[in-house]
């Protein structure tokens, strides 16, 4: 089978092209560095079966970060029959720098000038026929997000791989940047007239100027809280829990179990106190799913609008104080979606020191969407002061932990140089496809863990070990944290996933077993609590055993310590929230 | 004794002065390494230095001559590093040759081209010339740091001071290179600059190292 690799600057639409060629959906967002893993797929291109490889974006074939190196390595190892350079048509200079490097290395290439619509909006004209003649490379124009030009692209790919050329790779001279040649060709093939500033550009500026950007960030947060914490966590969860599960699924399951399963213990396994349906599924589907879907939806809009990298501009200086740069803002914010995926994105940071600090902070102080949603849901019953206390303490821990780790962890920081993508109007289709893909991922990845966790609780309960553990943990949970003994169960299942632990607390709260002080203490503890199994595995894969174990060994006692301190302080000052 | 030797000695005295050292013996030692035993006495006769109480100091004439010499040498170093991208090991010998051949006009022209730099690549002060004093009066200099440019004004990159190669490389791969037109889009809380249709956020210390022509 012939092999085609998609290569290009970051955020030019390689993944969209990949989906068009293979029919496989990979996450598409509007910020550089969405793709950190190489994706492969087989597509039928103009009647011919072809293997397509999607690569993380690169600015240069002389790599300066891990993800850039990954792309170069894969190109060298795979030796594709054709390299399709996907390019941002409105940025011809950068495009051609890469084109010339690819050609110099000896790859057979095809140039796809993508996002022609955006070049058109900016009145930029490109003479692609002239360009073809100068660089001796087939050049196609596409607007992949709308499917324009894809047929031409497919035809051109087919034509180019029909008779593949044998080639050998040359090494690039590190000093040679092709700057002059690229600039020269640019002048020949493109016209860039003076133009008016577009509305979306003004909007982009609005979000990055401190005077307007900072209030705007708070408005975004408030909207997020309204949508996820209030709308989804109260109305959505209420509907799912009380009506769908409370009135239909659970009674039905219990009736069915009564009828079909004679053995009480097996029946309990499904519909008892720690039942797979009554606990695992109702936590996962009734409590977390509505919250999570709302969060994913909101988040997808943020991602696709191009807003997230703009936060880096506002936050770079603060992030410098914790040993990171504004570049780390994206992995951190992505952590609020899913810490596991964010831990992978940490790769885009340039030094190992920054990668360790970011991985540590994600594991410690960034609650993922599922957990955050449940937390927001629980907080909706609290006073504003209690909510601010939670936010304040978690932010304080984040800053202090970051500050000290930046002092302790050796190594250097990298320069803050980050590309800011244009503001784009998110496309409904991508938002829904992405949200749907993530929900599906959650159902397949998290729900089995919920079931395992519940099964563990069930057996521990039946073997009277659960009681024993609760007694054992009671000095910490009851005396130190001031929580009911049953809260130990929530922490126990929190080992599987923090959000599951949070859901356990949520259920306790709904049973009226927690007062406001206890809610705050338990939320602080579970927010800081150990990362979920999936995140831990990614930490091992990305940062190694030693770092991952050290991080978790620190976090576990630390979470309880902080919870205990807050409990003590609230009692000592007789504060009732 | 040749003019060349005198220049070398003036340089040695100047460098010692910079370190706050004017002991005759210390200076003499270094000169003797260059096998120029009676040179200092001869220079005193010529009215370039004064030797009093075991200390060596410049006469006004000698100071002027030494200052010009060091100015040429250090400006040459800047030019070689910043603009001509000369290798470190060739830097010293080439700069030494430059210091003897540059006329005052050419020196001032180089100084202006480089934006009247204050320090040589080793971090030592470059004695200011007439052109620097004039430039201070003229608020606008031909080449200036990107941080001095007003928001919204398009300027052309003249050169990038590269303390580290990776930084230069990264800027280049975003298309920021000599000859390219760029614009400061925003200055606070971080800088945002625009190159063609790309907006790039970066920090002040990187922006300061990008020198542009208005």
**CB–CB of A316 and B200 under 8 A?**
no
What pairs with residue A417 in β-bridges?
B202
Residues A149 and A56 in one domain: yes
Tens-digit pLDDT profile for residues A196-250 = 888 999 999 999 998 999 999 999 988 988 888 788 878 888 888 888 988 898 8
- B178 to chain A: which residues are within 8 Å by CB? 179
Please give the span between the terminal C-alpha atoms of chain A, in angstroms, as a whole number.
66
Whether A395 has its CB under 8 Å from any CB of chain B: the answer is no
Using one digit for the tens of pLDDT, what is the confidence trace for B152-168? 899 999 888 866 677 87
Distance to chain B for A279, nearest Cα, Å: 48
Residues A305, A169, single domain; the answer is: no
pLDDT at residue A518 is higher than 70: yes
Indicate the residue of A64, A313, A422 with minimum beta-carbon distance to B190.
A313
Which of A438-442, A452-456, B56-60 is predicted least confidently? B56-60
What would the DSSP string read from start to end of A81-123? SEEEEEEETT-HHHHHHHHHHHHHHT--EEEEEE-HHHHHHTT
A420 in a structural domain: no
Nearest to B177 among A179, A205, A208 (CB): A179
Shortest distance, CA A124 to any CA of chain B (angstroms): 10
Contacts of A198 in chain B (CB under 8 A): none
pLDDT of residue A539: 93
Give residue A563's pLDDT.
95
Q: Which of the residue ranges A127-131, A410-414, A509-513, B123-127 has the most confident prediction, judged by mean pLDDT? A: A127-131
Domains identified in chain A, total number: 2
Alpha carbon distance A451, A277 (integer Å): 9
Q: How many CB atoms lie within 10 A of CB B38?
A: 9
Looking at the partner chain, which of A64, A420, A422 has a beta carbon nearest the beta carbon of B192?
Answer: A420
Burial class (CB in 10 A: 0-12, 13-18, 19+), B190: buried
Q: Residue A202 falls within a domain, yes or no?
A: no
What span, in angstroms and rounded, lies between the C-alpha atoms of A207 and A217? 8
- Who contacts A413 (Cβ-Cβ below 8 Å, separation ≥6)? A320, A323, A324, A325, A351, A353, A354
**pTM of the predicted model over 0.80:** no
Residues of chain A contacting B188 with CB distance shorter than 8 Å: 210
pLDDT (0 to 100) of residue A67: 67
Same domain, A229 and A139: no
| Band (A390; pLDDT cuts 50, 70, 90) | very high
What span, in angstroms and rounded, lies between the C-alpha atoms of A207 and A209?
6
Residue A510: count of CB within 10 angstroms of its CB: 17
Residue-wise pLDDT tens digits, A54-88: 998 888 888 766 667 888 888 999 999 999 999 99
Residues of B with CB under 8 A from a CB of A: 166-167, 169-175, 177-180, 185-186, 188-190, 192, 195-203, 206
Residue segments in chain B with a per-residue pLDDT below the cut of 70: 1, 32-37, 136-141, 162-164
Per CB-CB distance under 8 Å, the chain B contacts of A419 are 174, 198-201
Q: How far apart are CA B121 and CA B123, in angstroms?
A: 5
Highest mean predicted confidence (pLDDT) among A28-37, A470-479, B27-36, B115-124: A470-479
Best of A328, A414, A420 to mutate (most B CBs within 10 Å, chain B): A420
Which residues in chain B are contacts of A314 at CB distance < 8 A? Answer: 189-190
Is residue A457 a part of any domain in this protein? Answer: yes
A93 vs B170: CB contact, 8 Å cut-off? no
Tokens of B196: 């063609």
Q: Which residue has the higher pLDDT, A287 or A7?
A: A7
* A196 occurs within a structural domain: no
Residue A501 has pLDDT above 60, yes or no: yes
- Above 80 in pLDDT, residue A377? no
Q: Which residues contact B122 (CB under 8 A, 6 or more apart)?
A: B77
A-chain residues within 8 Å CB-CB of B198? 91, 94, 419
Q: A9 is in which domain, residue-wise?
A: 2-191
- Residue A235 is predicted with a pLDDT of 85
Do A173 and A270 lie in one domain? The reply is: no
- A179–chain B Cβ distance below 8 A for any pair: yes
Average pLDDT over residues A528-556: 91
- Last residue in a domain, options A191, A223, A258: A191
Please tell me whether residues A408 and A340 are part of one structural domain: yes
Examine the domain organization and report whether A235 and A318 are in the same domain.
Answer: yes
A18, with CB counted inside 10 A (0-12, 13-18, 19+), is buried
In a domain, A226, yes or no: yes
Residue A231 sits in the same domain as residue A176:
no
Quick check: A122 and B171 CB within 8 A?
no
Residue A68 lies in a domain: yes
A574 phi-psi bin (left φ>0, alpha ψ -120 to 50, beta other) = left
Distance from CA of A417 to the nearest CA of B (A): 5
Residues A214 and A178 in one domain: no
Q: Which of A313, A314, A419 sits opposite B174 (nearest CB)?
A: A419
Report how far residue A184's alpha carbon sits from residue A403's, in angstroms, rounded to the nearest whole number.
Answer: 47
Strands B154-160 and B143-145: unpaired
Residue A291, min C-alpha distance to chain B (Å): 34
Chain B contact present for A91, CB below 8 A: yes
| Superfamily for the B143-213 domain | Ferrous iron transport protein A (FeoA) (2.30.30.90)
Please give, rounded to a whole number of angstroms, the shortest distance from the CA of A190 to a CA of chain B.
12
Residues A223 and A292 in one domain: yes
Count of CB atoms situated within 10 Å of the CB of A172? 17
For chain B, say whether A202 makes contact (Cβ under 8 Å): no
B203:A205 CB<8 A: no
Has residue A113 been placed in a domain? yes
Q: List the structure tokens of A454.
A: 């519940």
Partners of B199 on chain A (C-beta within 8 Å) are: 204, 419-420, 422
User: What distance lies between CA A340 and its chain's CA centroid?
Assistant: 8
A160 and A220 co-located in one domain: no
- CA angle centred on A19, ends A15 and A21, rounded to 5°: 115
> Alpha-carbon distance A380 to A234, whole Å?
8
Task: Please tell me whether residues A102 and A155 are part of one structural domain.
Answer: yes
Contact A418 B202 (CB under 8 A): yes
Written as one string, the DSSP assignment of A218-233 is HHHHHHHIIIIIIIII
Tens of pLDDT, residues A281-324: 888 888 888 888 998 899 899 999 999 999 999 999 999 999 99
The DSSP 8-state label assigned to residue B162 in this structure reads: -
Looking at residues A98-122, what average pLDDT do you find?
Answer: 93
Q: Do B192 and A208 touch (CB under 8 A)?
A: yes
Assigned domain for A201 exists: no
End-to-end CA distance of chain B: 47
The structural domains of chain B, with segments of one domain joined by +, span 3-58, 143-213
> Which residues, in sequence order, are bridge partners of residue A114?
A88
ipTM of the complex: 0.82
Closest listed residue to residue B48, CA positions, set B35, B31, B67: B67
> Poorest-confidence range of A47-51, A137-141, A314-318, B17-21?
B17-21
Residue B188 has its nearest CB partner, among A60, A210, A325, at A210
Report the residue of A208, A210, A318 to disrupt the B interface, i.e. the one with the largest count of B CBs within 10 Å: A208
**How high is the pLDDT of residue A544?**
92
Return the pLDDT at A363: 95
Does A399 lie in the same domain as A499? yes
Q: Which of A59, A183, A418 sits opposite B173 (nearest CB)?
A: A59
Cα gap B55→A60, rounded to integer Å: 58
Q: Give the Cα separation of B6 and B8 in Å (integer).
A: 5
Distance, CA of B158 to CA of B150 (rounded, Å): 17
Determine contact, residues A391/A372, Cβ cutoff 8 Å.
no
**Is A415's CB within 8 Å of B203's CB?**
yes
Compute CA distances B209 → B168, B171, B203, whole Å. Answer: 10, 11, 11
Cα distances (angstroms) measured from residue A317 to each of A99, A237, A327: 35, 39, 11
């Amino acid at each position: 089978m012939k092999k085609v690799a998609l290569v290009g600057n970051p955020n030019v639409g390689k993944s969209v092209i990949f989906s068009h060629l293979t029919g496989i959906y990979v996450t598409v967002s509007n910020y550089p560095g969405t793709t950190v893993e190489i994706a492969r797929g087989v597509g039928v291109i103009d009647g011919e079966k072809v293997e397509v490889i999607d690569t993380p974006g690169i600015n240069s074939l002389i790599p300066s970060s891990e993800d850039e190196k990954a792309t170069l390595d894969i190109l060298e190892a795979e030796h594709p029959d054709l390299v399709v350079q996907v390019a941002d048509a409105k940025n011809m200079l950068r495009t051609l720098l890469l084109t010339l490097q690819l050609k110099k290395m000896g790859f057979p290439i095809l140039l796809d000038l993508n996002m022609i619509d955006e070049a058109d909006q900016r009145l930029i004209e490109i003479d692609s026929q002239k360009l073809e003649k100068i660089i001796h490379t087939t050049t196609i124009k596409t607007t992949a997000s709308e499917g324009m030009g894809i047929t031409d692209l497919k035809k051109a790919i087919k034509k180019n791989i029909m008779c593949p050329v044998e080639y050998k790779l040359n090494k690039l001279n590190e000093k040679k940047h092709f700057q002059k040649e690229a600039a020269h060709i640019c002048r020949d093939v493109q016209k860039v007239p003076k133009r008016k500033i577009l509305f979306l550009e003004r909007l982009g500026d609005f979000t990055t100027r401190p005077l307007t950007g900072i209030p705007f960030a708070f408005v975004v947060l408030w909207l997020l809280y309204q949508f996820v914490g209030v709308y989804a966590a109260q109305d959505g969860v209420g509907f799912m829990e009380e009506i769908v599960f409370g009135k239909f699924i659970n009674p039905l399951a219990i009736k069915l179990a009564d009828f079909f399963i004679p053995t009480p213990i097996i029946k309990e396994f499904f519909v008892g106190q720690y039942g797979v349906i009554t606990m695992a599924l109702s936590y996962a589907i009734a409590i977390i799913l509505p919250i999570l879907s709302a969060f994913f939806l909101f988040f997808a809009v943020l991602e696709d609008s191009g807003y997230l990298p703009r936060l880096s501009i506002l936050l770079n200086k603060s992030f410098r104080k914790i040993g990171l740069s504004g570049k780390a803002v994206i992995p951190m914010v992505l952590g609020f979606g899913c810490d596991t995926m964010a831990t992978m994105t940490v790769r885009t940071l340039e030094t190992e020191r920054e990668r360790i600090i970011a991985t540590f902070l994600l594991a410690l102080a960034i609650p993922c969407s599922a957990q955050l949603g449940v937390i927001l849901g629980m907080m909706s019953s609290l006073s504003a002061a209690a909510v601010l206390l939670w936010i304040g303490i978690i932010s304080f821990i984040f800053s202090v932990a970051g500050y000290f780790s930046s002092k302790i962890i050796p190594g250097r920081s990298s320069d803050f140089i980050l590309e800011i993508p244009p503001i784009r109007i998110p496309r409904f289709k991508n938002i829904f496809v992405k949200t749907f893909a993530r929900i599906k991922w959650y159902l397949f990845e998290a729900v089995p863990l919920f079931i395992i966790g519940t099964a563990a609780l069930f057996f521990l309960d039946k073997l009277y070990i659960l009681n024993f553990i609760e007694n054992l943990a009671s000095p910490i949970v009851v005396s130190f944290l001031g929580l009911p003994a049953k809260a130990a169960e929530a922490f126990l299942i929190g080992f599987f996933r923090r959000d599951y632990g949070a859901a356990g607390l949520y259920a306790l709260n709904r049973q009226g077993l927690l007062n406001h002080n206890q809610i705050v203490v338990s939320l602080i503890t579970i927010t800081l609590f150990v990362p979920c199994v999936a995140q831990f595995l990614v930490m091992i894969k990305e940062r190694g055993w030693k770092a991952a174990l050290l991080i978790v060994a620190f976090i576990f006692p630390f979470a309880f310590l902080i919870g205990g301190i807050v409990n003590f302080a609230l009692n000592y000052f007789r504060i009732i929230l | 004794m040749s003019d060349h030797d005198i220049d070398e000695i003036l340089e040695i005295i100047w460098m010692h002065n910079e370190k706050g050292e004017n002991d005759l013996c210390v200076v003499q030692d270094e000169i003797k390494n260059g096998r120029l035993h009676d040179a200092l006495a001869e220079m005193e006769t010529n009215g370039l230095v004064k030797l009093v109480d075991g200390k060596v100091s410049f006469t006004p004439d000698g100071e002027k001559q030494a200052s010009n010499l060091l100015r040429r040498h250090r400006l040459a170093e800047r030019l070689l590093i910043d603009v001509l991208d000369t290798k470190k090991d060739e830097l010293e010998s080439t700069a030494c040759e430059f210091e003897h051949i540059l006329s005052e006009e050419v020196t001032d022209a180089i100084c202006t081209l480089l934006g009247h730099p204050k320090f040589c690549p080793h971090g030592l002060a470059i004695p200011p010339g007439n052109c620097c004093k004039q430039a201070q009066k003229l608020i606008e200099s031909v080449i200036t740091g990107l941080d001095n440019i007003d928001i919204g004004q398009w300027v052309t990159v003249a050169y990038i001071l590269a303390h580290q190669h990776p930084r230069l490389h990264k800027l280049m791969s975003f298309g920021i290179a000599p000859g390219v037109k760029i614009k400061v889009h925003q200055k606070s809380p971080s800088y945002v600059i625009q190159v063609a249709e790309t907006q790039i956020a970066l920090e002040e210390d990187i922006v300061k190292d990008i020198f542009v022509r208005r």
